[in-house]
Amino acid sequence: MKDFNYCIWLLPEKKHKWYEYITTFTPHMSIYTNISRKSDAILKLNNMPSCKLKVRLEGDLKITNVDGFYSLQYNIVPVEDNIPEWWPSNAHVSFAYQYTPFSQDMIKHIRTTINEKNATMDYVVLRKCCGHYTTW
């Protein structure tokens, strides 16, 4: 299993429709990943300014594979011009994870199910992303 150590995520508003699309993990944009020490992760988290960003899914669904960890994700872009300095260069929201390649049926399902393209991201969390992704 691929471990990402400590991660800082930006989440959509609590009642956003993206939460309905995912049952095995929380929809999120990773701000920081692979932070090895918890104390470093907490320091980064505590130094994050509060934010409320309007974003939009952009482009086609992407399939990624990092050391056997597969993800279906959409890139996201800010809707407004207030892009924070910590905005990641590969900003995206993941909608499915698994440890085997995705079937064409699953890819088609995600493409047709995700019909809400806009969100307000306003909640920053720290997660330990080790072990099976359903336990993060």
Could you give all domains of the chain from N- to C-terminal order, each with its CATH number? 5-135 (3.90.1140.10)
Model confidence at 58, pLDDT cuts 50, 70, 90, reads very high
The Cα 132–Cα 1 span in angstroms is 7
Question: Quick check: 118 pLDDT over 90?
Answer: yes
What's the rounded Cα separation, in Å, for the pair 47 and 26?
A: 23
Tell whether the torsion through CA atoms of 82, 84, 85 and 91 is positive or negative: negative
- Of the pLDDT bands very low, low, confident and very high (cuts 50, 70, 90), residue 92 is very high
**Residue whose tokens read 């669904």:** 61
pLDDT at 82 over 80: no
The values of phi and psi at residue 76, to 5°, are -130, 150
What is the reported pLDDT for 83? Answer: 84
**Is the Cβ–Cβ distance between 76 and 10 less than 8 Å?**
no
Q: Which of 11, 44, 15, 41 is nearest to 29 (CA)?
A: 11
Distance of CA 62 to the CA centre of its chain: 13
pLDDT of residue 21: 87
**What tokens does 40 get?**
């470093």
Average pLDDT, the chain: 93
